[in-house]
């Protein structure tokens, strides 16, 4: 279990670096290129879509946390762990630490294209960074 926690800590750090690197790239792109907001339906609903994306992401992250990490932490604390369960925990926790930056980056790109403002991409990057920072793999150790 110790090696899993060490691996997940490294993965978490790598994902934090990736999120920060993508945010820096987004800032560089925003200074060098002019992104025009989409004009679907005359652009009247862009703000509603942006708010919907933010609310969706704030609801999705706790659900992902529960399904892919928290329930395993609770199981490990109550039961003995065996090899099959350990493989499932490894798979789910790796997936969790991949989905956070991936999902927030995609939502950030969509928000950036909808608004034409890099601040929304940075908002989603900040949400990903905060989530990665708050989730500690050390909880898997008894």
Name the residue with tokens 């928290």: 70
* DSSP-based three-state secondary structure for 121: helix
* Domain ranges, residue 79: 2-140
pLDDT tens profile 5-43: 888 889 999 999 999 999 999 999 999 998 888 877 777
Cβ–Cβ < 8 Å for 124, 25: no
Helix, strand and coil content of the chain, in percent to the nearest 5, comes to 85, 0, 15
pLDDT tens profile 63-113: 988 888 888 888 877 877 767 777 888 888 888 889 999 999 999 999 999
Q: Domain tally for the chain?
A: 1
């Amino acid at each position: 279990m110790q090696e899993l926690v060490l691996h997940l800590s490294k993965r978490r750090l790598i994902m934090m670096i990736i999120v920060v690197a993508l945010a820096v790239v987004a800032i560089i792109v925003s200074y060098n290129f002019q992104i025009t907001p989409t004009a679907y339906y005359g652009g009247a609903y862009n703000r509603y879509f942006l708010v919907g994306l933010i609310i969706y992401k704030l609801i999705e992250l706790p659900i992902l946390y529960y399904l892919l990490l928290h329930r395993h932490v609770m199981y490990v604390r109550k039961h003995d762990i065996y090899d099959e369960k350990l493989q499932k925990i490894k798979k789910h926790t790796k997936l969790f630490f991949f989905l956070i930056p991936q999902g927030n980056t995609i939502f950030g790109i969509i928000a950036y294209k909808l608004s034409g403002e890099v601040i929304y991409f940075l908002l989603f990057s900040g949400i990903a960074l905060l989530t990665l920072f708050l989730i500690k793999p050390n909880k898997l150790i008894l």
